[in-house]
Amino acid sequence: MREVIVVGGGPVGILLACLLAEHGVDVEVLERRTEPSMQARAIGIHPPSMRVLRKAGVADEVLARAVRIEAGSVRCGGRTLGRLSFTRTAGFPFVVALPQYETEAVLRERFRQLRPDGLRSGVLVGTLQDRGDYVDVLAEPADDGPGDNGAEILAAARYVVVADGARGHLRETVGITSHLLGGGDTYLMADYPDTGEHGSEAVLFFEEGGVVESFPLPSGRRRWVAMTPTLMTDAPIDDLTALIRARTGVLLPPSDSAPSAFSVQQRLATAMVRGRVVLVGDAAHEISPIGGQGMNLGWLDALALAPGLKHALAQPIEARATLGDYDRLRRRSARRAARQAGFNMAMGRPVHGLRLRLRNALVRILATPPLNGLLARAFTMRWL
C-alpha cells in the first residue's frame, strides 16, 4: 500500500512525484509508455515554473540545456508593432525554451535519484476503484476480457493522482466529466535551423492570413507555428515553409523536421478531486498551447497539490477541506488561463481592412508603458 500513486509519467506527473518525494511521501509512478516520447511538444517554461523546478532540484540542469528568451516582438507587414521585455522582474527574468522530451528526461533522472524504483513503465491502467480508505488501481482488461470484473489489481494507495493527459480516460472511471471552454482553431508547426535573424527573441507575425509564431530552441533550431484554415494532418514540410513565406516574407532553410498539425480544444473538468482520486495537469484542464500555458499550468497544480497531499495524509480529518481548496483554486487558475489563451488565439486570427488596422493599433497601445509591463507579466504567467 503506497501513500500516493501517480498514473502518468509525463512532465507533470513526474514533477509532482519529485515534489512528493522531496516531502518524504511514499510515491510511485505508473506509466503506459516503455520509452519516452521524442516529440518536441511544449517548449516554453515560464518564470513561476522555474521556481517550481528549483524546488524539485532541477532548475540548474534545465537552464544548462535551454535557451533564454528575454524579449518578444510583434510584427505585421514587415513592420514591428511593438516589443515586450521579460527582464524587469527578479528571480527568473526570462522565458526558458527547451523541448519537452529534454525537460522530461531531466525530471525522470531527478525522480530516479529520489526514488530509484519509483517509476514502473509499460503499465496499462484500466480503471480506478475508490474503496473509501484507499484506491485500487486496476489493469486495462484484454480486448476479449469481461470489463472490470476480475481485473488484475496493479497497485493500491491511499491517494491516486491522475496525470494521464487530455486524452486519458481515468477521470471518467470515477465519474468526473469535463466541459468545453472554446477552441477549434488549427495550427501547423515544425522546427527549422535557426538563421540567427531574430536572435533570442520570440517573434509573433500578426498577418492578414493568420498568425505565425517563432521561438528559439537549443542546438541552433527554431520552432515555427502557423495558424491554418483547416487541420493539415498530412502536410509536408514544404507546405509549411511556403505558408510562412507567403504570410511573412521569411524564407526558411530546408528542415528534416516532420510538421505536426493540431486542433485546439479547451476543456475543464467539473471537479479536480473525487474522493481519494485527484486530477492534475491536462487530465484536469486542456488549455490551448498558443501562449505556452498548458504544461506550466500543470506544474503549478503540482506545486499546490504536493503539500496538500502531505497534509491530507498526516491529518486525515482535514483532508477533505485541504483537497477542496486545491480543487477550487486550481480550477479558478485554469479558467483564467483559458481566457488568456482565448485572447491569444483571437488576436492571431485572420483579419482584413479596418479590423486589421484596429488590431494593429491595439497591439501598439498594449506595447507601450505601463501596459507593456502588465502584458509581459500576463504572458509569462506571473499572475499565477
Tell me, what's the pLDDT at 146? 52
Which residues, 6+ apart, have CB-to-CB distance to 289 below 8 Å? Answer: 42, 262, 264
List, in sequence order, the alpha helices (H) in 56-207: 59-65, 100-114, 170-173
Q: Kindly report the number of other CB atoms within 10 A of residue 360's CB atom.
A: 18
Report d(CA 130, CA 146) in Å as an integer. Answer: 20
Q: Which residue has the cell 502557423?
A: 226
| Nearest residue to 55 via CA among 97, 9, 99, 91 | 91
Low-confidence ranges of the chain (pLDDT < 70): 39-40, 89-90, 142-150, 383-384
Extract the runs of DSSP E, i.e. beta strands, from the chain.
Answer: 2-7, 27-31, 44-45, 67-69, 71-76, 79-85, 95-97, 119-121, 125-130, 135-139, 153-162, 178-193, 202-207, 210-217, 221-228, 260-269, 273-274, 277-279, 285-286
C-alpha cell at 377: 507579466
Report d(CA 194, CA 346) in Å as an integer. Answer: 28
Q: For the chain, which residues make up each domain, given as ranges?
A: 2-68+92-180+265-345, 183-264+348-379
Tell me, what's the pLDDT at 140? 83
Query: Could you tell me the strand order of the sheet in which 178-193 lies?
Result: 79-85, 71-76, 202-207, 210-217, 221-228, 178-193, 260-269, 285-286
CATH of 2-68+92-180+265-345, one of 3.40.250.10, 1.20.1730.10, 3.40.50.970, 3.50.50.60: 3.50.50.60
Tell me, what's the pLDDT at 380? 83
C-alpha cell at 282: 491536462
Residue 55 three-state SS: helix
Tell me, what's the pLDDT at 144? 53
DSSP letter assigned to residue 197: T
Tell me, what's the pLDDT at 148? 52
Longest distance between any two alpha carbons in the chain, whole Å: 65
pTM for this model (two decimals): 0.94
Determine the CATH number of domain 183-264+348-379: 3.30.70.2450
| Nearest residue to 366 via CA among 81, 49, 134, 141 | 81
Report d(CA 97, CA 380) in Å as an integer. Answer: 12
Q: Which residues pair with 222 in a beta bridge?
A: 192, 216
Tell me, what's the pLDDT at 145? 52
Tell me, what's the pLDDT at 291? 84
Report d(CA 226, CA 243) in Å as an integer. Answer: 8
Which residue type occupies 46? H
Report d(CA 31, CA 246) in Å as an integer. Answer: 43
| Nearest residue to 82 via CA among 261, 220, 204 | 204
Which tens digit of pLDDT belongs to each residue from 310-362? 999 999 999 999 999 999 999 999 999 999 999 989 999 999 999 999 999 99
Contact 234, 221 (CB under 8 A): no
Q: Kindly report the number of other CB atoms within 10 A of residue 234's CB atom.
A: 8
Tell me, what's the pLDDT at 143? 61
